[in-house]
Amino acid sequence: MDTKIITIDNIEKESYKLREAANILKNNGIVAFPTETVYGLGGNAFSEEAIRKIFLAKGRPSDNPLIVHISDVKKLKKLVKNVPPVAEVLIQKFWPGPLTLIFEKLDSIPYSVTGGLDTVAIRMPSHEIARELISLSGLPIAAPSANLSGKPSPTNGDHVIKDLNGRVDAIVCGGDSDVGLESTVLDISGEIPVILRPGGITMEEISAVIGQVEIDPHIISDANVIPKAPGMKYTHYSPNAELVIFTGEEKEVVNRINLISERLMKSNKKVGIMTCNENLDLYNGNEVLSLGSKLDYCEIARNLFFTLRKFDDLYVDVILSEAFELSGIGSAIMNRLKKASGNNIIEL
């Protein structure tokens, strides 16, 4: 398949370029586009044909449901049975933005979108290109992250081109994603809202607005708990290299990473080390990359998937990484690192 690449540097001047992409969506084709979290691969949420194409292009298991993206809150009532009061408050505060809410679905949403569930995940992105594209299409747009299934989510157009060129109808390239991690998925169907996936909006921010919030036990424990977000049970975000995370006292982490790195390099392995600006000079590896300052976790989050993909481009065999604190967006960072490493965590 020929993939049309559409590059937008300035949405105010170039929004006309999105007309072609919107037409593809109207004709049940699939289009990758930037959002503030990560790039998404969109298709008409009412169309079985478009949904089938999305799953096929990504190689995604069919029981892993998609998030439906809207550009106008008014469209919500065409998709969901009811909007509980707690949702109204959250929408008022966090939409548009990186918060996905789970509602009871109407029959208009096919079960192929929801992986057979009676609920549907909805989000209104804040990225101008995403909003303009959705609005031009006049459709709710089902969109998973625009990576091949299992790979780190894409945070720029080049990542998407690498994974999906030739597999989708069009790719809209529009710079770097600002958040760098996916949206927070919040289930509001029970009495106490539950975070099914930590993400761009933190637990602290949510509870400041609505009070008590719980976190799906699957996210915090390694025990055999079945996750409520079906997607969370799959291997995810994995670079080609083996990834190992080290937690514990900082000095010990640095020493242990250097010790293992030296051993691996002696046995001719190419070693990548993932750290923060403050510790960059303390390490000895073939490729030492910083995610940003440890005083700015938003920067660390923004660079995480980018850096995992960068290590792949550098063909390292092993990535040894520092861990991060679990507060604020740190819990989303650690959730992605855990999954990317297949729970390969060494506690010192």
Query: CA-CA distance, 166 to 1, in Å (whole number)?
Result: 5
Whether the CB-CB separation of 173 and 75 falls below 8 Å is answered with no
Stretch that binds ligand TXA, among 76-84, 224-232, 260-268, 322-330 (CB under 6 A): 224-232
131 binds ligand TXA (CB under 6 A): no
How many Cα atoms are found within 13 Å in the side-chain-facing hemisphere of 273? 26
User: What is the Rg, in whole angstroms, of the alpha carbon atoms belonging to the chain?
Assistant: 20
Q: Which residues are CB-contacts of 88 (< 8 A; sequence separation ≥ 6)?
A: none
Size of the site for ligand TXA (CB under 6 A): 31
Q: Judged by CB, which is closer to ligand TXA: 66, or 273? A: 66
Q: Choose one: 158-166, 222-230, 289-297, 304-312; the region binding ligand TXA (CB under 6 A).
A: 222-230
Query: Applying CB under 6 A, does 144 fall inside the site for ligand TXA?
Result: yes
Using CB under 6 A as the criterion, what x/- string covers residues 153-182 for binding ligand TXA? -----------------------------x
Closer of 156 and 261 to ligand TXA (Cβ): 156
Closer residue to Mg ion in complex, CB, 103/237: 237
Which CB sits closer to ligand TXA, 157 or 285? 157
Q: How far is CA 94 from the centre of its chain?
A: 17
Nearest distance in Å: CB 116, ligand TXA: 10
Show the tokens assigned to 88: 């109204």
The residue (of 65 and 285) whose beta carbon lies closer to ligand TXA is 65
Cα distance between residue 19 and residue 132, in whole Å: 10
Amino acid at 187: D
Among positions 34, 40, 96, 174, the unique one binding ligand TXA when judged by CB under 6 A: 40
Contact between residue 271 and residue 286 where contact means Cβ atoms under 8 Å apart: yes
Q: Which of 145, 183, 331, 341 binds Mg ion (CB under 5 A)?
A: 145
Tell me which of ligand TXA, Mg ion, none is bound by residue 117, counting a contact when its beta carbon lies within the kind-specific cut-off of 5 to 8 angstroms.
ligand TXA
Given Mg ion, ligand TXA, none, residue 37, with its beta carbon under 5 to 8 Å by kind, binds ligand TXA
**Burial per residue of 73-95, b for 16 or more beta-carbon CB atoms within 10 angstroms, e otherwise:** eebbeebbeebeebbeebbeebb
- Give the side-chain half-sphere CA count within 13 A for 337: 28
CB 157 within 8 A of CB 173: yes
* Sheet strands (E) in 26-162: 31-33, 40-44, 67-69, 99-104, 119-123, 141-142
Residue nearest to ligand TXA (CB): 231
Question: Site for ligand TXA (CB under 6 A): which residue of 67, 289, 320, 340?
Answer: 67
3-state SS, residue 33: strand
Q: Check residue 232 for interaction with ligand TXA (CB under 6 A).
A: yes
Binding site for ligand TXA (CB under 6 A): 35, 37-38, 40, 64-67, 98, 100, 102, 114, 117, 119-121, 123, 125, 143-145, 182-183, 185, 196-197, 228-232
